[in-house]
Amino acid sequence: MPKHLTAAQVDHYRDRGYIAPLDLLTASETAEARAKLEAYEARSGGPLGGAQRAGGHLLWPWIDELMRHETLLDAVEDLIGPDILCWNSIFWIKEANSPSYVGWHQDLEYWGLDNDELVSAWIALSPASEAAGAMSVLPGSHRELLSHDETYHADNMLTRGQELKIDVSQREVASMALEPGQMSMHNVRLAHGSGPNTTDDRRIGISLQYMPTRTKQLLVDWDFATLVRGTDDYGNFELTPRPQSDFDPVAVEFHQRAGVALRELLYQGAERPPERAPTL
Ligand SMILES: O=C(O)CCC(=O)C(=O)O
């Protein structure tokens, strides 16, 4: 008996590789989260970027709490069972009327994780309509292993500017447009991407990557994750500290180590040296 999803939603996820939209945050919770992000941006002098896009759950308690949201974890548990690690959190912000896009890609190839059960939850903190550059997916592509070009295109938000080598126009494409406070969930092997933001508002999303505790990291010697539910009987990842306040020194020190490790992982075998902060 699923805890949050319907049996039909679980079947859809297994068969098509995604579920969207799902209601998660209330309007006031969403506004509060956005206000926290934008208050920090106002204080720090500009849009969040660089190394702060990844691992925000180590810098700000509100993201740590979002990562542990009970309804979200119930939905994740319905898909991967009760012992759950969260690998990372990543901000995906496209400024108003910006050309930033995310090339069509599958994530698993780059992450070094040994199983394809990982679930990415993407939460909208502002409108993620098609005009704003919502994510789209190729339904069912989580059963294929596709290869990528690495374009390093300046507007492609991915670490290496990845782009699938296939002709997407020949495929079925499904939009995962979201209202603020809604989320989508997709299997990390599902091909996905998103276009530019043509609206006058920012498109703000945060993605959280959940995995069963039995997952192993195969590409690098050290990796980290957050135990968000159940028990970790495997110890394959160093468990993150919880920030007790914004920029808690213990968690900030961990965030710095985590950033170095993520850079090493995501640029492994890359044609070009690390020029931009790694995200995914
Ligand atoms: O935000 C986007 O448009 C893409 C995000 C993404 O690639 C992901 O969450 O895996």
Q: How far is the CA of 105 from the centre of ligand 1 (A)?
A: 9
Among candidates 194, 198, 209, which has minimal Cα distance to 157? 194
CATH 1.10.530.10 fits 7-266, yes or no: no
Task: State whether the beta carbon of 103 lies less than 6 angstroms from ligand 1.
Answer: no
CB-CB neighbours of 262 under 10 Å: 25
Instruction: Kindly state the tokens that stand for 250.
Output: 């213990």
Q: What is the DSSP letter of 51?
A: G
E-strand stretches of the chain: 18-23, 84-94, 102-105, 119-124, 135-137, 148-150, 162-164, 174-175, 182-187, 192-194, 203-212, 224-229, 238-239
Nearest-CA residue for ligand 1 atom 8 is 207
HSE-up (13 A, CA, CB side) for residue 280: 29
Q: How far is the CA of 88 from the centre of ligand 1 (A)?
A: 13
Q: How far is the CA of 207 from the centre of ligand 1 (A)?
A: 7
Per-residue pLDDT of the chain in tens (280 residues, 90 and over written 9): 889 999 999 999 999 999 999 999 999 999 999 999 999 999 999 999 888 999 999 999 999 999 999 999 999 999 999 999 999 999 999 999 999 999 999 998 788 899 889 999 999 999 999 999 999 999 999 999 999 988 889 999 888 888 999 999 999 999 999 999 999 999 999 999 999 999 999 999 999 999 999 999 998 999 999 999 999 999 999 999 999 999 999 999 999 999 888 888 877 777 665 566 666 5
Task: State whether the beta carbon of 192 lies less than 6 angstroms from ligand 1.
Answer: yes
> Which ligand 1 atom sits nearest the alpha carbon of residue 101?
3
> Which ligand 1 atom sits nearest the alpha carbon of residue 192?
7
Q: How far is the CA of 229 from the centre of ligand 1 (A)?
A: 24
Q: Are 108 and 114 in contact (CB under 8 A)?
A: no
Q: Where are the domains of the chain?
A: 7-266
